A and B are shown apart, each in its own frame.
Chain A
């Protein structure tokens, strides 16, 4: 199934490791090999700050003997190290305890061919250091030149990556794919009259070079965001409508996907437990997980267990559709895998989403803001204040205050809080301005009320 020559070597390596494990007596096993070449150039104040380029390669093996499971990984791929990996895995499995649900994916659900998802841009392995440097310089230059009040820079980075992933298992699955990505990032500082700095960053990240935003646009966006925070002060404590700019709304999609993990459901550690097919939000809200979109960062032909990837609706017209599963948690909860297993060489499959999108609505972001007399336009969130078990949400924030339907003064050092179940119920507007941020697409959203803590 290999689509490019790049994936051949990992596939051979994985197959060699699996063969050794079978010969040593593993009844069930899978082996994976990954190889990833990353190159990046960082400039700061138009001078080179860091240039790096390396290829990482490692292999992982999972063995299951009478339901006893162990995983072992190594970055040393010599024959001796592979033999030691197998020996360690068998030794660890013997100490483990039998788990009736442990096992490989159902072969009937595994991919038989590789759908063409346009994950590989042939141009990316060809990108040289000069190109990375030129893009990083252009991006930072646009940001620094946007306004005389932009006085400092955290730097600009342009990086490219090409990787291959191979998986084989004792049920006969054998698959490999290669993918690429490129990204650009910049952070600059705007200066207040008293010398205080306000910083902001912006980035673009895609599978193919031609889909990246232009370096100048990324730079100007970072500068505009730093400038619009000038003069920020603390808001007063109040309960008001909160408008989430698309980048912030994208984070909400990630929270729903995290709470929809079948493992979290098994552990009863999600506020979405027992809410399948109930109204999570107004019919305005639809959120979809889809790893089959062409050219997207969250796409892949099969998951970390070889299961075919698919489109998984999470919220359809406000109704919570159900959970994401790998095959282990699916077996534990009598469900089916949704092709959502992610795998690193060093561990068991973990549940995660592919591409997430909050579907666009019909209202323009201007109208959404115009309907707010007094409220917060949210542009920054800080910290880890989400309790997935209870749904309690309390995070640091910054943004722009909305007065009489217009964006007014910037605010910072505030908190926004609520309970996610209530917050989703309070979504009363969805913008027509969906845009992609890496593997997530989201439009502007409005919640009719949240608590804002400040002075």
Chain B
């Protein structure tokens, strides 16, 4: 069984000597120069990975990372320090370093820390993969390898890996709140190379979540491997993608990466507090087609982007960002929620104790509409159908965003036709969202394979979307096709 918050608090106290009294002492040092708020983020993370190539285990890895990150807030400014040494002396030294952001000498009242309970039930799992015998995991990798090779004779290489971690976090704040969480994370990856008459094509696939071995009950290693193999083989027939602006149909699921880039980052409150986002000062305004409703939801069961509490100790939630095209709210962390005078939305996240938190997405998705997915394709004379992606990026300030399609098809006369080679798409956030002219009833969340990077920090996230028709996005292919029409 996974740990309850009370188990995690007990673990810190008995295994690492970090208890309420120690935390109070470190907080006193953190506030030694009069900072207005301080927070301790303790992290104990065990992770493991197994990689399989040339039909055998290539390497096994394990790591232990533990430490505390100490943040002192003074107005909008923060002092930050961390230490991997959890002795009281080392923690107090780090606290004194972080305290330098404040310039006062005022004695601060002692903090009285109290462990608080909350419903931590988004990923209570029966069997953490971190305590599964390695031989069982090797068997899963071997099954994936066999299935990919059996899928098609052109599959010349298969590389598979499994990585997992269990993270115990304890957050103690100068308002006295002490909360803890146990956060499991699992990911299974398969990469295939198809080699046919000297032409090589590759594809990757995978999934996971905040799950234990139960993940494989609904996602067999064979199905993940066959999907990677299918995409690699498909690429053997792919044509050059067209160049220009065309209607695009986004398949349900992973296409949610478009939302993550087109609006997600731009709605993180740090950029809006600083007015450097193209969504700054636009709450209540129309920023998308009326068909578009976007939610960030950290409470989805077992999802890669879910967290019971954020990394500032706030209970997370289901946050409406865009409602029928109107901008409803930003994603907040502590500093930005103070700035805007709103409640924290539970979006303060960080990569590890070595990093300070900032507003981040969790699981971001568009709600279902009324259209039949097939009808959306039928509405396009000539365009692109996008199904699998390798990543995306956004310029927060001007709103330009890109995403790279690794499985895409031409749509000709309302029908999906030939597969196309890897292609990048570029658009501008509000412009593309205003061109959403159809939303399917088939909302689907992606499997757990996405990691989001911001200011050098990576956090696991989820994305989701129903089938969506966008009347025009610029497609960065190589095939010139002047005068292509659209009917969307």
Bind each other: yes
Residues of A near any B CB (own CB < 8 A): 44, 47-58, 69-77, 81, 85, 88-89, 92-93, 95-97, 99, 129, 152-154, 189, 196-199, 229, 232, 234, 237, 239, 267-269, 273, 345-348, 382-385, 387, 389-390, 392, 394-398, 412-419, 451-455
Query: Once bound together, how far apart are the Cα atoms of A54 and B93, in whole Å?
Result: 10
Query: Once bound together, how far apart are the Cα atoms of A93 and B61, in whole Å?
Result: 9
Q: Determine whether the beta carbon of A197 is less than 8 Å from that of B397.
A: yes
Query: Once bound together, how far apart are the Cα atoms of A389 and B204, in whole Å?
Result: 12
Known contacts A51-B100, A395-B402; can you find 8 more A-B pairs with CB under 8 A?
A54-B354, A92-B62, A197-B278, A237-B244, A267-B53, A267-B157, A348-B61, A396-B476
The interface residues of chain B lying within 8 Å CB-to-CB of A383 are 391-393, 402-404, 424, 426
Q: Check B176 for interface membership: any CB of A closer than 8 A.
A: no
Q: Determine whether the beta carbon of B398 is less than 8 Å from that of A71.
A: no
Q: Determine whether the beta carbon of B243 is less than 8 Å from that of A453.
A: yes
The interface residues of chain A lying within 8 Å CB-to-CB of B53 are 267
Q: Determine whether the beta carbon of A97 is less than 8 Å from that of B243.
A: no
Query: Once bound together, how far apart are the Cα atoms of A129 and B135, in whole Å?
Result: 51
Residues of B near any A CB (own CB < 8 A): 53, 56-67, 76-84, 94, 97-98, 100-101, 134-135, 138, 156-157, 159, 193, 195, 200-202, 235, 241, 243-245, 274-276, 278, 354, 356, 390-393, 395-398, 400-404, 406, 421-428, 474-478, 480, 482
Q: Determine whether the beta carbon of A389 is less than 8 Å from that of B202.
A: yes
Query: Once bound together, how far apart are the Cα atoms of A158 and B410, in whole Å?
Result: 48
Q: Which 10 residue pairs across A and B have the least CB separation, nearest first?
A: A415-B476, A396-B402, A383-B402, A385-B424, A199-B397, A52-B80, A92-B60, A394-B424, A453-B243, A384-B391
A-B contact pairs, 11 of them (CB 8 A): A51-B78, A54-B97, A73-B65, A74-B63, A85-B64, A95-B60, A99-B58, A189-B276, A237-B244, A385-B423, A415-B475
- Which one, B82, B134, B392, contacts A95 given CB within 8 A? B134
Q: Determine whether the beta carbon of B80 is less than 8 Å from that of A51.
A: yes
Q: Determine whether the beta carbon of A415 is less than 8 Å from that of B424.
A: yes
Q: Which residue of B lies closest to A238 (CB)?
A: B480
Given A75-B66, A346-B61, CB of A413 within 8 Å of CB of B428: yes
Given A152-B276, A396-B402, CB of A54 within 8 Å of CB of B83: yes
Query: Once bound together, how far apart are the Cα atoms of A397 and B425, in whole Å?
Result: 11
Given A70-B59, A455-B245, CB of A394 within 8 Å of CB of B64: no
Residue in B56, B65, B428 whose Cβ sees the most chain A Cβ within 10 Å? B65
The interface residues of chain A lying within 8 Å CB-to-CB of B428 are 413
Q: Determine whether the beta carbon of A93 is less than 8 Å from that of B474.
A: no
Q: Which residue of A lies closest to B242 (CB)?
A: A453
Query: Once bound together, how far apart are the Cα atoms of A389 and B478, in whole Å?
Result: 17
Q: Which residue of B lies closest to A455 (CB)?
A: B245
A190 → B minimal CB distance (Å): 10
A151 → B minimal CB distance (Å): 9
Q: Which residue of B lies closest to A45 (CB)?
A: B274
Q: Determine whether the beta carbon of A152 is less than 8 Å from that of B78.
A: no
Given A75-B66, A415-B475, CB of A389 within 8 Å of CB of B200: yes
Secondary structure class of chain B's binding surface, majority of residues: strand
Query: Once bound together, how far apart are the Cα atoms of A345 and B245, in whole Å?
Result: 46
B189 → A minimal CB distance (Å): 14
The interface residues of chain A lying within 8 Å CB-to-CB of B401 are 382, 396
Given A417-B477, A453-B476, CB of A268 within 8 Å of CB of B156: yes
Query: Once bound together, how far apart are the Cα atoms of A346 and B65, in whole Å?
Result: 10
B401 → A minimal CB distance (Å): 8
Residue in B57, B62, B424 whose Cβ sees the most chain A Cβ within 10 Å? B424
Query: Once bound together, how far apart are the Cα atoms of A419 and B240, in whole Å?
Result: 10
Q: Determine whether the beta carbon of A384 is less than 8 Å from that of B393.
A: yes
The interface residues of chain B lying within 8 Å CB-to-CB of A55 are 83
Q: Determine whether the beta carbon of A73 is less than 8 Å from that of B478.
A: no
Q: Determine whether the beta carbon of A154 is less than 8 Å from that of B424.
A: no
A31 → B minimal CB distance (Å): 14
Q: Determine whether the beta carbon of A49 is less than 8 Å from that of B78.
A: yes
Q: Determine whether the beta carbon of A347 is less than 8 Å from that of B61.
A: yes
Q: Determine whether the beta carbon of B274 is less than 8 Å from that of A390.
A: no
Query: Once bound together, how far apart are the Cα atoms of A220 and B275, in whole Å?
Result: 21
Given A58-B84, A385-B423, A453-B475, CB of A412 within 8 Å of CB of B60: no
Q: Determine whether the beta carbon of B424 is less than 8 Å from that of A396.
A: yes
Q: Determine whether the beta carbon of A52 is less than 8 Å from that of B66.
A: no
Q: Which residue of A lies closest to B80 (CB)?
A: A52
Query: Once bound together, how far apart are the Cα atoms of A348 and B51, in whole Å?
Result: 11
Given A237-B480, A451-B243, A453-B244, CB of A95 within 8 Å of CB of B135: yes
Query: Once bound together, how far apart are the Cα atoms of A397 and B400, in whole Å?
Result: 10
- Which one, B60, B77, B98, B478, contacts A419 given CB within 8 A? B478
Query: Once bound together, how far apart are the Cα atoms of A239 and B79, in whole Å?
Result: 51
Q: Determine whether the beta carbon of B101 is less than 8 Å from that of A387.
A: no
